[in-house]
Amino acid sequence: MNRKTLVGAFIAVVETVPLLTNCATVKKSAGDVTEKAVGVAIGLAGKCPDLSTPESILALNFAQDLGVSHEEGVKLRASTAAAVQLKDLADRVDAALKLRCGNIAKDLGAGTDFKDGHAACEVAAKAITNTKAKIGANAKLAVVMETPKCAADMQGYRNCAVMCGSSGLNLFGGSTSVGCEPGKLAGKCDAKCEGACDVEAGARCDGTCSGSCDAAIRGTCSGKCTGKCDDKNSRGAACAGTCDGKCDGTVQGACKGNCGGECKIKASGKCEGTCMGKCSAEFKEPKCTGEMKPPYMRAECKAYCDAEMLANLECTQARVGITATGVADAKAFEALKMTLEKNLPTVLKVSVGLGERMPKMAKNAKAIIQGTISSFGDIHPIAGVHGATISVHITMCLADTYKGAIAAAAGLQANVIASAGVLESVRGSLPRSNARDLLSDNQCLNVVRAFVR
């Protein structure tokens, strides 16, 4: 059987044959495979590997379980682990957005039943726009948003690479170190930090504080301001401009006390939390907030470890605070404020924390999986078994998993774009001076463009 026929047989089975978990059924649509070959494949069917988790997959010997050569077994094992990890990540992202975007839509009276996260976020974005229209064109809104900063464990990435490359795989090309793109390291800095400092526990901030402040501030306040608002006396009233005094909500600006959240340091200085940027000494417990620079490894293993890394990113807490003056419909504003402050942080994690990383990962993983499918025509079986037989057996065991992963890549794309749409609906017609720390001017566009490159 030639390669074209084998690939066609695989695709036909993927698209038309419902696979059983015990791999015991083979339909005659598998190309021109002979009845004898099918019979042998059914005999092998009981040996379909456990594909429930990436860890269970990486613990298997695919060459032995599927009757292929060692090299092909290694490739199939890593590709299948990547497929399962990609699907798991996509399911988790979809569930989070379905819940949080669904909550926004429900709270704003736009529906309660959504088939997936993408649909929920599309409805939520429209509901936000419609609610802002009810608030009135003359209303002045102030949005304070602390976006999440997500970092990957560099040692964890190396451990993943080693696990994927165990059992005879020549993983590394001499080096076992994992690097990070310049200026994107994060960790404990005992010297001078240049960039941002995450101070969740609360610490002095010589710069711009985004989060909470236990003393007087000068900046944006999502709650009530006691002091001056736009240089006018304010006695615990909403302030959609610049608050100079105490704020009982989320702040962004100069904090004269302890800041809880993120501190953007004016110049290099002491960071009593997690330094994100540069440290004048060596970082302790370093993590990477940008692109990981792994050692040499198989493309299939990199696809798996990239997906595993995204699934386990450590992100700082996202915060959202909204206040307004001059609203035409106070009830509509309170509903908007309540639901966005509660649910938008999760949307931020997807669209900002993961958004610019997931497109590249999903695109690469999809290409690896499709490449593995197309290579089935070059199968080198173990002695005594026909290559066509092995191809049918592999199709039976892996088709659903690979099909699900390809769909998952498209699902991630749809969800990240939809989550970015929710943020744009919040940003919408807000004056630039009042849309504090939402997204940089091009960040939402960059998320979308990353998928179409």
pLDDT (tens digit per residue) in 97-134 = 999 999 999 999 998 899 999 999 999 999 999 999 99
Most confidently predicted of 86-95, 164-173, 386-395:
86-95
Least confident of 10-24, 202-216, 218-232, 406-420: 10-24
Report the C-alpha gap between 196 and 203 in whole angstroms: 13
Res 440 pLDDT > 60: no
Res 34 pLDDT > 80: no
Give the tens place of pLDDT for each residue, 291-303. Answer: 888 777 888 989 9
Least confident of 200-214, 264-278, 386-400, 434-448: 434-448
Give the tens place of pLDDT for each residue, 312-367. Answer: 988 888 889 898 889 999 999 999 999 999 999 999 999 888 877 888 899 999 99
**Which pLDDT score, from 0 to 100, does residue 91 have?**
95
Instruction: Please name the residue ranges forming H helices in 245-386.
Output: 299-311, 330-348, 358-374
**Which pLDDT score, from 0 to 100, does residue 386 have?**
54
Q: Quick one: pLDDT band at residue 417, thresholds 50, 70, 90?
A: very high
User: Residue 442: CB partners within 8 Å, gap ≥ 6?
Assistant: none
Structure tokens at 372: 């593995």
Res 20 pLDDT > 60: no
Report the C-alpha gap between 319 and 348 in whole angstroms: 9
Contact 189, 322 (CB under 8 A): no
Overall average pLDDT of the 213-230 stretch: 90
Give the tens place of pLDDT for each residue, 246-283. Answer: 998 888 899 888 888 888 877 677 888 888 888 889 88
Report the C-alpha gap between 71 and 388 in whole angstroms: 18
User: Residue 68: CB partners within 8 Å, gap ≥ 6?
Assistant: 62, 76, 379, 380, 381, 382, 390, 394
Q: Quick one: pLDDT band at residue 244, thresholds 50, 70, 90?
A: very high
**What average pLDDT is seen over the chain?**
79
**Which pLDDT score, from 0 to 100, does residue 29 have?**
37
Least confident of 38-42, 195-199, 286-290, 419-423: 38-42
**Which pLDDT score, from 0 to 100, does residue 166 have?**
56
The H or E element that residue 424 is part of is: helix 387-427
Overall average pLDDT of the 2-9 stretch: 41
Instruction: Judge if pTM exceeds 0.95.
Output: no
Percent of the chain with pLDDT over 90: 32
The H or E element that residue 11 is part of is: helix 3-16
